[in-house]
Amino acid sequence: MDHTNFVKKLNSNIATTNSDEDCTKWSDMGNTTYKTTSTTAKKRENKVRKLLANTEVKRWYDNLARGSPITAESRTRRLARFCEEHNTTPIEFAELGVKDLKAVTDLLQDHITWMELKHYAPQYIEATMTALKSWLRHFDIQIVRRLKITDADSTPTLENERVPNGKEMAEILMRAPLREGAVISLMAKSGLRPEVLGNHNGTDGLMIKDLPDLEIVNGVARLLHTPPKVIVRRTLSKARHQYFTFLSNIGSERLLAYLNDRLAKGEILNSESAIIAPNMDYKYGRQGKEGNKFLLTVRISNIVRNTFRPRFTWRPYVLRSYFDTQLLLAEARGKIAHDFRVFFMGHKGSIEAKYTTNKGIMSEEMVKEMQDAYKRSEELLDMEYLVKAPQQKEDLQSAIANADPQMLQEILKILTSAIKSKSSIQ
């Protein structure tokens, strides 16, 4: 193949219109929200499937998937998008790199320029370059030149994002259905990532056995201890290490309400049952995974996003930011240690953490101290209680003002007797 003509062909065939995956609109923040229709998703899936029919692409994909299936799918989509824009194939692109390293490097640099002119997000451009370089490395082609991207570390779509306050969290949970309320609670009160509740293809996720303090007796779910421990297995952890966190009072109430509703409807739950399960009566949103007992990560994110809308335009991940922010406040007030907060977020932390919180098996004293620290921080995670308290006080004052005087005297006698009885016992 004449690589000179190939480069000329590539540079003359860059698409002038945005394709299905418009990265300038993929964030939930800002005035424009990217909405992926089922048709768009199917088109992207077909492009990836077509590429994977090639032996070399499949070999590259499988190698990436051993580290992270999500990364493998994401990079394959970006490679497909690049090849579509340049009217070429992955193999032709790799052949150019083998024959002329400068030509393929120039092509990548020109593509960055084109993407910047189209106002693509800097981090999307960087992710595209990472995918293309990864594909070239599969053929032992190493890009030596430093390819710079303007404001590569900036996140323009997230600049105005903030975490919810207590009043907003109360509003979100108040109007959330049972399952959505449980998902939001596990993310906002335990700091779990969506992929912990259900992985990218719905084959694994958080189970009943991952909450050792949760038991089901006579068809009723209940907690043995509070706050309950939530174990994130290594297969569900982004950093590929097992860790645990806890769930607050409000979060526990939401989760128990959801699980007991499922039990009341006749579902049989055991240690292997999914904490967050698909609605078996509905096919929509199963993404062709009707046989799986877990929801897909994208589906979990969607139900959170739909609960936010139209009132709030946050990304689902803002719930993890809420968890981290509230524990940061707790740390500043001396309620929790820094390494505990990092551990609950699922991060490996500093070298010091390697010898303490990230040991394979922790001592019971350490676990108890972490549980106590979480409990001391609960009031900052369950800000909804603080929102409700003033209203409850106003309701009580109004009830007293309108109550019958004789009835109030009887209530006062009962309370006085109860206080004296408690004092004598102490």
- What's the whole-number mean pLDDT along residues 133-153? 92
- For the segment 29-50, the average pLDDT, to the nearest whole number, is 57
Peptide bond before residue 122 is cis, with ω within 30 degrees of 0: no
- CA 76 to CA 85: how far, in whole Å? 14
Of the listed ranges 2-11, 216-225, 392-401, 414-423, the least confidently predicted one is 2-11
- Rank 14-18, 28-32, 162-166, 248-252 by mean pLDDT and report only the highest: 248-252
Alpha carbons within 13 angstroms on the beta-carbon side of residue 63 total 10
User: Does 386 have pLDDT greater than 80?
Assistant: no
Please provide the distance, in angstroms rounded to a whole number, between the alpha carbons at the two ends of the chain: 92
Q: What pTM value is reported for the model?
A: 0.72
Residues 6+ away with beta carbon under 8 Å from 179 = 258, 276, 279, 303
* Domain map (residue ranges) of the chain: 3-158, 166-324
**Fold (CATH) for 166-324:** hpI Integrase; Chain A (1.10.443)
Q: In this structure, what is the dihedral angle of CA atoms 178, 267, 196, 370, given to the nearest 10 degrees?
A: 80
Rg of the chain over all Cα atoms, to the nearest angstrom: 27
C-alpha to C-alpha distance for 247 and 318, rounded to whole angstroms: 17
Tell me how many helices (H) and strands (E) the chain has.
Answer: 18, 4
User: What contacts 393, CB < 8 A, 6 or more positions away?
Assistant: none
- What digits encode the pLDDT tens for the residues 314-347? 999 999 999 999 999 999 999 999 999 999 999 8
CA distances to 2, 41, 46, 106, 268 from 80, rounded to whole Å, are 22, 14, 10, 19, 43
Residue with tokens 């009723």: 220
CA atoms lying within 13 Å on the CB side of residue 161: 19
Position 425 confidence tier, pLDDT thresholds 50, 70, 90: very low
Report the C-alpha gap between 275 and 183 in whole angstroms. 9
CA dihedral 323, 325, 328, 329 (to 10 degrees): -110
Q: What is the per-residue pLDDT for 305?
A: 94
Q: What is the pLDDT of residues 280-296, one digit of tens each?
A: 654 444 455 556 789 99
pLDDT-above-90 percentage for the chain: 54
Residue-wise pLDDT tens digits, 375-385: 999 999 998 76
| Low-confidence winner among 49-53, 76-80, 87-91, 270-274 (lowest mean pLDDT) | 49-53
For residue 201, the 8-state DSSP code is T
